[in-house]
Amino acid sequence: MENVKEKFLFLLKYYVALILCFVPLRLIFMAVTGEGCHSLTDYMLVAWHGLQLDIAVAGYITALPLLLTIVSLFAYMPMRKLFIVYNLFVATIIASAFVADISLYPFWQFKLDASFLLYLDSPSNAFASVSAGYIATRLIAFIVLVTLLFTLLHFATSKSLRPSKPRVLPLVGLLLTAGLIFLGIRGGVGESTNNVGKVYFSNDQFLNHSAVNPIFSFIYSIGKREDYSEAYRFYSPEELNARIDGLYKQDSAISDTLLNNRRPNIITILLEGMSCSLIESMGGAQGVTPNFDRLSQEGVLFTQCYANSYRTDRGLICSLSGYLSFPKTSVMKSVIKSQGLSSIASVLSEAGYHNAFLYGGDINFTDMKSYFYSTGYDELIADKDFTIKEKGGHEWGVSDHITFDSLLHLVKHRPQEPWHITYLTLSSHEPWTVPYSRISDNPIANSFAYVDSCLGNFIKRLKESELWENTLVVCMPDHAVIGFPKGIDQANENRNRIPLLFTGGAVKESRQIETICNQSDLPATLLAQLGLPTESFPYSRNVLSPSYDYPFAYHAFNNGISFIDSTGFTLFDLDANNIRIEKPADAMHSRATKAKAILQAAYNDFQQR
């Protein structure tokens, strides 16, 4: 029976060793990535609530040791020799997940999941947000962690296990142990199985995220990824039709004319991450974007516009194709589906416009090249069209003062009129390294101040040219910046508020429009002003149409959706499957209902494309 005892003791030691790996790593994650002041009680609660998913992951990893322990009832098993490779593999997986999680979270503000796989086809761009020193420290941390974790698991592994007699009772005991491990993986005997939201316990989303085991989060998201047939099934088809009816009315009529002619040349400038938190005239930080503040007084400013998503590839689709974004699926990366979308450029092309796209980075990143060529663009200019010296100014590619110069050159050398140019900036992006130092104590604010100075200089030179009078310049971010101001997150109703500005000589008069809208409303609103058709944009609303009688904004991020209208703001957590923020209280939960209906309807549409 001594051999039997040793087998059960080995499984217990190995299982506990895994838990002992996860708990301190979770607390380190919390200490390193947390921006607020968290108490000892917070750390204890995170450690306690996170155990449920730690137990599940420990169960997955212990499956092989359990199987070999059962085999050892009948044959000699030199466990430590057999487990050298396995323990190294497990240590590598745990260290990789922890280092990736602690590195990505400050940028993305959600736990490690399958989303990062979308960006691995272009590793140079994936690493462009960080410095060589940043990568080196993570590599050192990874090596140290692998060494420590392997050592712990190696000593938790018995040297050897010998055959036992009797075998029946130990076999029954090990099978019962397997059942207990399975229950730990499943999350108990109840109807609800383990999911990321099961460890949520606080109104502070950072504490909830800290409690989530990153390996479980990744495995769980893999299982949910691209499952179009089952994702976001909140309502029956009949209920869904009733709830979505009237939210996205198609109407190209206009009750308000913003332009002094219907065929201006058009420049669409997508300002990387420039949310309202950086713009003083819109309630943001003082002195960061004086040029944009001045331009907003000269043009038409939409003061209550909200981003639909949180990443550039998603924001481009929302802005240019008027299509909605999804929590975990990139429409642009789904090449077959993105190619079927309409866009501002495709409609303008039918109206005789020549369309060009300018970007100082890699045009192949997130399948941008395929999307732009498929949706009406005649000409693409990207990093490959610049010199090696010009490409050396920023980790993501060509610095914005150079690409703004290229934009001016393009404008002055168009082959025909009317023309349309879409330009995406890149310098206001991690790691915030720009050739500018006006705001030395805040690199994020300084990078946006740099982009603002480039924008101001470009507009100044454009005004000096004869092209100004017949040009419309549309300025809008691709998404809101993460981490400015410090501590702001998706629970804040202003987190995704962005400016939408129409300026240029083609604008009839300066004014402000305070109607709530989304960035996805740009195509229908702009094209209606030009007298062009908008029916190919089912989720883009003409904000200036007489029928736009229910203004609202919808946003999707990695693990949730939010909705804002004149009654208030609601955030629905998709992992926990409940309302996390509701300001003010909504007795009928109508905002959450609408948000869920929009997500389900849009996903149905995406699935069928």
> At which residue do the structure tokens 């092989």 appear?
64
Average pLDDT, the chain: 89
Six token digits for residue 589: 């939960």
Higher pLDDT, residue 116 or 38: 38
Six token digits for residue 455: 């924008």
How high is the pLDDT of residue 436? 95
Q: What is the DSSP string of 573-605?
A: ETTTTEEEEEES--TT-HHHHHHHHHHHHHHHH
Task: List 423's β-bridge partners, or say none.
Answer: 269, 358
How high is the pLDDT of residue 432? 92
Q: What's the whole-number mean pLDDT along residues 318-331?
A: 93
Higher pLDDT, residue 217 or 469: 469
39, 33, 155, 153: which is closest to 98 by C-alpha? Answer: 33
Higher pLDDT, residue 26 or 221: 26
How high is the pLDDT of residue 105? 84
Q: What's the whole-number mean pLDDT along residues 214-230?
A: 71
How high is the pLDDT of residue 125? 63
**pLDDT per residue as tens digits for the range 433-454:** 999 999 999 999 999 999 999 9
Handedness of CA 131, 133, 134, 136 (dihedral sign): positive
How high is the pLDDT of residue 556? 96
How high is the pLDDT of residue 371? 85
Alpha-helical runs (H) found in 34-159: 40-71, 79-108, 123-126, 132-156
Q: What is d(CA 495, CA 275) in angstroms, rounded to the nearest whole number?
A: 8
| pLDDT above 80 for 119 | no
472 and 506 Cβ atoms separated by less than 8 Å: yes
H/E run at residue 316: helix 312-321
Other beta carbons within 10 angstroms of residue 294's beta carbon come to: 13
| pLDDT above 70 for 1 | no
Q: What is d(CA 489, CA 481) in angstroms, rounded to the nearest whole number?
A: 10
Model confidence at 463, pLDDT cuts 50, 70, 90, reads very high
How high is the pLDDT of residue 567? 96
| pLDDT above 90 for 370 | no
How high is the pLDDT of residue 227? 53
The most confident of 199-203, 303-307, 488-492, by mean pLDDT: 303-307
* Amino acid making up residue 200: Y
Model confidence at 584, pLDDT cuts 50, 70, 90, reads very high
**pLDDT per residue as tens digits for the range 50-63:** 999 999 999 999 98
* Amino acid making up residue 459: I
**pLDDT per residue as tens digits for the range 391-406:** 877 888 999 999 999 9
Distances (CA, A) of 131 to 128, 135, 364, 497: 8, 6, 22, 29
How high is the pLDDT of residue 17? 93
Model confidence at 185, pLDDT cuts 50, 70, 90, reads confident
**pLDDT per residue as tens digits for the range 540-563:** 999 999 999 999 999 999 889 999
Higher pLDDT, residue 340 or 494: 494
214 and 222 Cβ atoms separated by less than 8 Å: no
Other beta carbons within 10 angstroms of residue 593's beta carbon come to: 18
How high is the pLDDT of residue 592? 96
Max Cα–Cα distance, the chain, nearest Å: 96
DSSP 365: G
How high is the pLDDT of residue 220? 77
**pLDDT per residue as tens digits for the range 154-171:** 888 888 787 777 777 878
| pLDDT above 80 for 42 | yes
* Amino acid making up residue 122: S
Model confidence at 240, pLDDT cuts 50, 70, 90, reads very high
How high is the pLDDT of residue 124? 62
**Which residues 6+ apart lie within 8 Å of 286 measured at CB?**
280
| pLDDT above 70 for 206 | yes
Model confidence at 229, pLDDT cuts 50, 70, 90, reads low
How high is the pLDDT of residue 325? 95
Six token digits for residue 22: 């996860």
Q: What's the whole-number mean pLDDT along residues 414-435?
A: 93
Q: What is d(CA 539, CA 342) in angstroms, rounded to the nearest whole number?
A: 11
| pLDDT above 80 for 126 | no
**Angle between the 40-71 and 79-108 helix axes, to the nearest 10 degrees?**
150
Beta strand pairing status for 511-513 and 300-306? parallel
181 and 63 Cβ atoms separated by less than 8 Å: yes
